[in-house]
Amino acid sequence: MEQVAFIVWRESIEALLVVGILFTWLRASPEGRRGLPWLWGGVGAGLLLAGALGLVLLGLASWLSDTGQEWFQAVMALAACALVVHMVLWMRQRGRSLRRELETGASEQIHQQRWWGLFALVMIAVAREGSETVVFLYGTVLSSRTEGSAAAMGLAGLGGFALALLSFWLLQLGGRFITWRRFFRITETLLLLLAGALLVLATDRLISLEVLPTLIDPVWDSAWLMGTEQGLGKLLADFAGYRAMPALSQVLVWFAYWAAVIVLLRSSARKLVQPPAANPDHGALAA
């Protein structure tokens, strides 16, 4: 359940950031206020698209055979892992210019009275965040066969969204409690840990399908010290891919993942040659 709450919390804050930037900008002028209904319409349409993707995934999973579901879950876990890493890199490279890009895009649509263009801009932005949430939730919850009722998962999601609203309000206080930059740095670390856990989940499925050899199974047995059923061991298993009795292939894949992540992060840092803006906190909204 904690995975559900975390994913909804993190992705909701990104969606709130996008909507908040456009809402603040539109509200600042009489001409812009005419676009507010199109803004909210785009938000609703984006959420509907993300919900439709979720229904398609659930329907496809129920239609597949047991072996087909194993394959599908492995693919979804790998896709979610790749999506997390891509999102972290994208925010590192584009976070500083996010506000400017959104406002420029909205300005072009408004000046030409293309309200459907504004609608599409918002719909695509919200649908992207919503679709990421759907893929993450499928990859983490269904692929890991997390125990818990749909009601419990729904409550965890609502809790994550409520926490996102509170966090967004705190972030908007101008860094009094936490800055946008620090927020994204902390959460990107947690997301990369979660992506590693998703990759390990995928290796679980591939090993069970006899696609990935175990090489040595297990490499060690630390269940006597820290199991994965409860407490810290379960938390590390869910968020970092810890296994008490891992196969050698899983250990090698996990280390290869972190080596690749480090290389990608360093490469991304070298590309950021532009000087920081006066307020580089990832497009924090100005009142």
Contact by Cβ (8 Å): 159, 38: no
Q: Give me the DSSP letters along 70-89.
A: HHHHHHHHHHHHHHHHHHHH
Residue ranges making up the domain that contains 43 = 2-271
Residue 257 phi, psi dihedral angles, 5° rounding: -60, -50
User: Is the distance from CB of 120 to CB of 37 less than 8 angstroms?
Assistant: no
> Is 122 part of any domain?
yes
Measure Cα distances from 144 to 1, 126, 192, 205 in Å: 12, 26, 17, 9
Determine, yes or no, domain membership for 281: no
The per-residue pLDDT for 278 is: 45
The structural domain count of the chain equals 1
State the residue for tokens 């006597």.
224
- What whole-number distance in Å separates Cα of residue 108 and Cα of residue 113? 9
pLDDT of residue 281: 47
pLDDT in tens, the chain (287 residues): 677 788 888 888 888 888 888 888 788 777 777 788 888 998 999 999 988 988 888 788 778 888 888 888 888 889 889 988 988 888 877 766 667 777 777 777 666 667 787 788 888 888 888 888 888 777 766 555 555 556 677 788 888 888 888 888 887 776 677 777 788 888 888 889 989 999 998 999 999 998 999 888 889 999 888 888 888 888 888 888 889 999 999 999 999 999 999 999 988 877 765 554 444 444 444 33
Burial class of residue 53 in the structure, from the number of CB atoms within 10 Å of its CB (0-12 exposed, 13-18 middle, 19+ buried): middle
pLDDT of amino acid 285: 44
**Cβ 87 vs Cβ 132: under 8 Å:** yes
What confidence score (pLDDT) does residue 32 get? 72
Rounded to the nearest 5 percent, the helix, strand and coil shares of the chain are 75, 0, 25
In a domain, 76, yes or no: yes
Q: Report if residue 46 sits inside a domain.
A: yes
The dihedral built from the CA positions of residue 60, 72, 14 and 93, taken in this order, carries a sign that is: negative
- Would residue 286 count as lying in a domain? no
Q: Residue 191 in contact with residue 239, Cβ under 8 Å?
A: no
- Amino acid at the residue 2: E
Q: What's the angle, vertex CA 258, arms to CA 82 and CA 53, rounded to 5?
A: 15
**Over the range 226-253, which residues count as b (16 or more CB within 10 Å of their CB) and which as e?**
ebbeeeebeebbbbbbbbbebbebbbeb
> Rounded distance, CA 80 to CA 111, Å?
38
Residue 276 covered by a domain: no
Which amino acid, residue 116?
A: W
- At 287 the pLDDT is 33
**Residue 285, domain member (yes or no):** no
The answer to the question of residue 82 being in a domain is yes
Cβ count near 108 (within 10 Å): 13
